Every structure is written in structure tokens, then in C-alpha cells.
Amino acid sequence: MGNLVKMDLRRLFHTPMFTVSMCVLAVLNIITSCGITIVTRALSSESEPSTTAISDIIMTPFAGGIFAVLMFASLINFSYADIANGYVKNLAGQLKHRSDLVVSKFIVLGIHNIIFLLAGVLSQFIAFGLLVVLKMGTITNEGRMFEAIATLVLKWMLCMAISSILVFITNGIRNKTFATIVGVVIGTGSLGLAYIGLNMALSKVLKTEDIDVSNIMPDSLMRTVNVGANTAVVNAILVSIICTAIFLGLTIKVFNTRDVK
């Protein structure tokens, strides 16, 4: 397993889309965070610099929720690459347990997601640092570092839950196109409208108004979880664990039973 992880890591770091997507994310983060502040000041009479807490920067790795699409696009590309080029077929025949390929890939995708989140946080610090230099903003430390880091960890866990779904589609169903569509829909937050419709339908069927399916959906929880405010913390933990266990388990089962092509 250790050698498989090393090989997958090497493959990840030599994948052009991984590097390009991460750099584009960082640049867009900087442009967006700086641009919003600059435009807001230009359109208002406010002369005082805006204040941003370090904890808020850490909890918000992506200046725009849509930027998660870049992370998922890189993830899908890496997850399907060995199947597309036939590399997985040669390697699977040498392993006692073919499921090791899925587990190794998922471990590396965990590292992939950590790198993207940290790149997002770092680029956010650069953006707000530039605003400080331009005297358009200040950065404060409100002492909520534990809550901020814990929130970021929960967002990583939710990323892994979404990753397990995408890995199931790319490695279980083996459909990169469908995985890409799902990744874009999830990354852009487009499922929000579907959740509203589902809430309305369930409310009529169950005859209750106290229903919100977004509270148990990983993509929605990524946007709302906040340890400091104690918002959706338990839901985020349970959903990430259950979703990952189900879809990773399904991927392993399907991968072990069908022919490797």
C-alpha cells in the first residue's frame, strides 16, 4: 500500500491540471478578494479600511464558492487518468487486492484536497495582505484560531465526502463525463434550487414545514459549517463519515467485481 501511495503521489504532482488548477484558484482568490474591496470602496464614501479577522480568512479558503469547481475538476482528472490510459489494468494484475488501488487513490486525493484548501487560505492571506499594504484593509487576530482550524478540517472532511461520490462515478461507474457534470453542479452550488424543490415536496407529503434537506448534504454543509458559531458541526461530522463510508465502500465493491479494462 505504501508503494502505491507513493506512485499515486508522484503521478499527482506530475499532473499538469493539478498545478494549473491550483495556480488559477490562487490567482482568482487574490483578484476576487482584492477586487471586491476596491470596488466597494470606489462605489461608497467609506474611507476607513475594512477589517478582516485571521480566523475568517482561515475558515474561507475560497473567495467564491464556485472556485471549488477547480478543485473537483483536478480531482476528477487525476482519478480517471489511470483508467483512461490503461495503466490501472497493468497494475491491477499484480496486486492481491485490487481494492488497494482505490484506497491508495483516495488517500492521495485527501492530500490533494488539503493542498487545495491550504493554497486557498494562503492566497487569501496574500490578498488581504495586499489590501493592508494599499491601506485599504487591516487584519486582526480575535483569538478564534482553534475554531477556525476546526472549521477548515470539517470542510476538508466534507470535501472527502464529495470526493468519494466523484471517485465512485469515475472508478466505479467509469464515466468521466458524468463525474464532471456532477462536480460542476456541486461546485457551483446549483443543487440549492433542487433542495428547495425537494423541501417543498417533502413538506407536502409529510405535512410538516420543518424540513431542510440541505442540512444533510455535504455541498451545502461546506458553505454553512462553522465551529465558532456551532453551526451544523454535528451534521458535518456525521454526513462526511457516512457519505465517505458508503461511496468508498461501493467503489471498492464494484471495482473488485468487474473486469479491469
- Provide the pLDDT for residue 42: 78
pLDDT in tens, the chain (261 residues): 788 899 999 999 999 999 999 999 999 999 999 998 888 887 776 667 888 999 999 999 998 778 899 999 999 999 999 888 766 666 656 667 778 899 999 999 999 999 999 999 999 999 999 999 988 889 999 888 999 999 999 999 999 999 999 999 999 999 999 999 999 999 998 998 899 999 999 888 888 878 899 999 999 999 999 998 988 999 999 999 999 999 999 999 998 887 655
* Per-residue confidence (pLDDT) for residue 143, from 0 to 100: 81
Domain boundaries defined on the chain: 2-257
Q: Return the HEC string of the chain.
A: CHHHHHHHHHHHHCCHHHHHHHHHHHHHHHHHHHHHHHHHHHHCCCCCCEEEEHHHHHHCCCCCHHHHHHHHHHHHHHHHHHHHCCHHHHHHCCCCCCHHHHHHHHHHHHHHHHHHHHHHHHHHHHHHHHHHHCCCEEEECCCCHHHHHHHHHHHHHHHHHHHHHHHHHHHHHCCHHHHHHHHHHHHHCCHHHHHHHHHHHHHHHHCCCCCCHHHHCHHHHHHHCECCCCECHHHHHHHHHHHHHHHHHHHHHHHHHCCCC
Enter the pTM of the model. 0.91
